[in-house]
Amino acid sequence: MAITPDGSTLLVAETYAFRISAFGINPDGSLTGRSDWANLGTSPDKVPAPEPAIQAAHPLPDGICLDSEGALWVADAGGDGALRVTEGGKIVGKVETPGLAVYAVALGGPDLKTLYMCAAPKLGISDPKVERRGYLLSREVDVPGLP
């Protein structure tokens, strides 16, 4: 999840629905009015089970973080990298992690231009009960994160 800098919108990654949803944040903290901030695949009426979602070959948004231009870095739990996505769902950048899915992202470092990615073998390819590997990866990006 991420909150826009003005505090008015909560963005939520819905992994198996292939979308980022936006909710208005009321002054009392309650949420209102879900809408699609970004749709990264066929929007299902009912969220599919994990296996069909993985096989659908759409990005599976997991962890997210906002950058200073209002784009989201999206961890693609079903792919092999992190995607930079603008409102409306346009993919404007990608950091590839061949053979590894990314499950969480954060922008940091001294200039907030280091994209940190938590990665592991791709879903459906390895059994996490047996193969317990995880990686912390980093990559310099052009647009900094938010302070």
Query: If you classify domain 2-140 with CATH, what class do you get?
Result: mainly beta
Measured in degrees and rounded to the nearest 5, phi and psi for residue 45 equal: -65, -35
The predicted model gives 128-141 an average pLDDT of: 89
Whether residue 125 is predicted with pLDDT greater than 80 in this model: the reply is no
Q: What's the pLDDT score for residue 46?
A: 59
CA 92/CA 90 separation, integer angstroms: 6
Domain boundaries, the chain: 2-140
CA 63/CA 30 separation, integer angstroms: 22
The predicted model gives 106-130 an average pLDDT of: 89
Q: What's the pLDDT score for residue 130?
A: 80
Whether residue 48 is predicted with pLDDT greater than 70 in this model: the reply is no
| The model's pTM | 0.89
Mean of pLDDT over the chain:
91
Q: Which two three-digit tokens encode residue 30? A: 């309650």
The predicted model gives 18-26 an average pLDDT of: 96
Is 142 in the active site? no
Whether residue 42 is predicted with pLDDT greater than 80 in this model: the reply is no
Q: 28, 36, 45, 62: which is the annotated catalytic residue?
A: 62
- Give tens-digit pLDDT for 51-102: 666 666 789 999 999 999 999 999 999 889 999 999 999 999 999 999 899 9
Instruction: Look up residue 40 and give its amino acid.
Output: L
Burial class of 119 by CB neighbour count within 10 A (0 to 12, 13 to 18, 19+): buried
Q: What's the pLDDT score for residue 52?
A: 64
Whether residue 43 is predicted with pLDDT greater than 60 in this model: the reply is no
Q: How confident is the model at residue 45 (pLDDT cuts 50, 70, 90)?
A: low
Q: What's the pLDDT score for residue 105?
A: 98
The predicted model gives 15-25 an average pLDDT of: 94
